[in-house]
């Protein structure tokens, strides 16, 4: 597989214009910014080079595998702690996935031995402008960890290895499903340093596992092992060490094979019911309204396939 690192601005790719790479005249990039090749993305430079065996330097990587997009946290020497540059690029990566009509599911994973150790406290410790008005505005729109304030309309799965703590846990909670390894540990370790949860931890965690269990983790800052995390409902799957990414990718492929309009409508109705609905009546009305278009565009043809015998013995493809 030809590996190419490109550093052109995303605005050019998402605008729908075609961009040709020097030395690769036959390759063009339309609105859908990735092909089947693996590409690493940075917003900071207008240069392109062929990837060598040297370690990648971009803090966020993107790997497009058919209809699955892998988004990698790539600061392994810092346990993938997120700094400002990484947060910006992570936001861009999620927006690009959202706008890519050829990609159905994303898998967020950490490169190296850990998923994410949260925000980079070394950067925070030396920052004199963390509470500037510009910084506050940026965090209110994007979130300190990057995409945590976005509304993603397509499924995202987290492949969680090693530590996923503080903001790293919040990134995992942003995802719809989480695949842990047996040695994975999660927790609000920022409790001991006076760093609050500002990337959805106090919102998504109690919605996921209930207030009592959420407060147990938020107030004590204790670490959870994968087995307890699965019992609580934080981890949806637990694999052998080293197996989270492959299991998450397979899960993503399985989800991607379903009719996508119906899947996204049901997913959207679920989120509305949990976070936005004013009453059960509101939830039921939204669910029905959200499904009407799907009934015409996917359900009738799906019912016809059922009559023809598709789906028998668990075979849907």
Which one, of 165, 66, 152, lies nearest residue 110 by Cα? 165
Judgement on whether residues 145 and 77 belong to the same structural domain of the protein: yes
72-85 as b/e, with b when 16 or more CB fall inside 10 Å? Answer: bbbbbebbbbbbbb
3-class DSSP assignment, residue 12: helix
Tens of pLDDT along 185-215? Answer: 999 999 999 899 999 999 999 999 999 999 9
Residue 6 domain flag: no
Judgement on whether residues 168 and 301 belong to the same structural domain of the protein: no
Judgement on whether residues 167 and 241 belong to the same structural domain of the protein: yes
Give 179's strand partners.
159, 237
| Sequence-ordered alpha helix ranges (H) in the chain | 10-14, 84-99, 121-126, 133-142, 167-174, 201-209, 211-220, 226-232, 244-256, 260-271, 280-294, 300-307
Residue 44 domain flag: no
CATH number at residue 169: 3.90.226.10
Tokens describing residue 273: 């019911």
Number of domains the chain is built from: 2
Confidence of residue 38 (pLDDT cuts 50, 70, 90): very low
Place of tokens 């600061």: 75
**Segments forming the whole domain that contains residue 167:** 59-256
Tens of pLDDT along 212-266? Answer: 999 999 999 999 999 999 999 999 999 999 999 999 999 999 999 999 999 999 9
pLDDT score recorded for residue 46: 29
Judgement on whether residues 171 and 268 belong to the same structural domain of the protein: no
Judgement on whether residues 184 and 273 belong to the same structural domain of the protein: no
Q: Which of 237, 256, 275 is the last residue of a domain?
A: 256
Judgement on whether residues 178 and 305 belong to the same structural domain of the protein: no
Residue 20 domain flag: no
Q: Which of 213, 241, 256 is the last residue of a domain?
A: 256
Please state the pTM of the whole predicted model.
Answer: 0.79
Judgement on whether residues 220 and 283 belong to the same structural domain of the protein: no
Least confident of 50-59, 112-121, 175-184: 50-59
Contacts of 311 (CB under 8 A, 6+ apart): 305
Residue 5 domain flag: no
- For residue 135, is pLDDT > 90? no
Tens of pLDDT along 261-317? Answer: 999 999 999 999 999 999 999 999 999 999 999 988 888 788 788 887 777 766 655
Residue 33 domain flag: no
Residue 1 domain flag: no
Q: Taking residues 65-81, what's their average pLDDT?
A: 96
Residue 165 domain flag: yes
- What span, in angstroms and rounded, lies between the C-alpha atoms of 155 and 153? 7
Judgement on whether residues 97 and 198 belong to the same structural domain of the protein: yes
């Amino acid at each position: 597989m030809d590996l190419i690192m490109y550093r052109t601005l995303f605005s050019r790719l998402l605008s729908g214009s075609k961009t040709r790479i020097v030395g690769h005249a036959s390759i063009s990039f339309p609105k859908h910014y990735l092909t089947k090749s693996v590409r690493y993305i940075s917003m900071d430079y207008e240069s392109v080079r062929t990837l060598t065996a040297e370690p990648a330097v971009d803090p966020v990587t993107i790997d497009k595998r058919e209809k699955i997009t892998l988004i990698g946290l790539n600061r392994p020497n810092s346990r993938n702690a997120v700094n400002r540059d990484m947060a910006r690029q992570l936001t861009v990566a999620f927006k690009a996935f959202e706008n890519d009509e050829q990609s159905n599911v994303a898998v967020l994973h950490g490169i190296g031995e850990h998923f994410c150790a949260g925000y980079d406290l070394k950067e925070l410790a030396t920052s004199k402008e963390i509470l500037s008005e510009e910084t506050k505005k940026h965090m209110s729109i994007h979130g300190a960890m990057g995409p945590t304030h976005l509304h993603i309309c397509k499924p995202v799965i987290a492949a969680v290895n090693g530590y996923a703590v503080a903001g790293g846990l919040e990134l995992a909670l942003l995802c719809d499903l989480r695949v842990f390894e047996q040695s994975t540990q999660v927790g609000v370790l920022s409790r001991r340093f006076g760093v609050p949860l500002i990337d959805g931890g106090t919102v998504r965690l109690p919605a996921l596992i209930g207030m009592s269990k959420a407060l147990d983790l938020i107030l004590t800052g204790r670490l959870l092992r994968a087995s307890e995390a699965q019992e609580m409902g934080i981890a949806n799957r637990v694999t052998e060490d080293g197996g989270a990414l492959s299991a998450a990718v397979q899960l993503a492929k399985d989800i991607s094979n379903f009719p996508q309009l119906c899947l996204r409508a049901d997913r959207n109705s679920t989120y509305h019911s949990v976070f936005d609905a004013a009453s059960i009546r509101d939830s039921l009305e939204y669910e029905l309204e959200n499904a009407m278009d799907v009934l015409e565009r996917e359900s009738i043809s799906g019912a016809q396939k059922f009559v023809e015998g598709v789906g028998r013995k668990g075979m849907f493809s």
